[in-house]
Amino acid sequence: MKKVEHTVEAIILASRWLLVVFYLGLALALLLYAVSFTTKLYHFADKLLTLAETDTILKMLSLIDAALVASLVVMVIISGYENFVSRFDNADGTEISWLGKVDAGSLKIKVASTIVAISSIHLLQVFLNVQQFTDSQLMWLTIMHMAFVVSALLLAYIDRLMTSSKKAKGE
């Protein structure tokens, strides 16, 4: 029976390598998003001298938004791989120390914070074009943004409680 248990555990442990497919897929999606970003940047540069100030700000916010999304994807790829698959090593076999600093709990907070930042930028873009939206749309966009803010704060609070609990137990 112990042999069956060890076999099942080995299969379950090896299954973590299936996550690599997802991380490689995210890396490919990031490459495609970089192409999209480059296209946006080219169009922005091409029309820079003819854009109104508000339009320039909106284009820049769109680029910032894209950078935040790309950073979020990189964060998920690196910390997910580090936490669930394997540690990153240098060519000489030593660990790359700066990569292992994000655990699953802090990743959730970083993801939530990034989502709040993205939502904030989107909401700012909406308010800069307020004439294109109804009062109802503005209200719901604001409510959704506040839901993201509250969720991020609750995640941070829960993480703080968990950290305090671990410290109190001496872990």
pLDDT in tens, the chain (171 residues): 889 999 999 999 999 999 999 999 999 999 999 999 999 999 999 999 999 888 899 899 999 999 999 998 998 898 888 888 887 776 565 666 555 566 667 778 888 888 999 999 999 989 988 899 999 999 999 999 999 999 999 988 888 888 777 777 765
Residues contacting residue 20 through CB under 8 Å, at least 6 positions apart: 81, 85
- The sign of the dihedral angle between the CA atoms of 46, 55, 111, 106 is positive
CA 71 – CA 115 distance, rounded (Å):
11
Centroid of chain to Cα 97: 21
Q: Do 157 and 107 contact (CB within 8 A), yes or no?
A: no
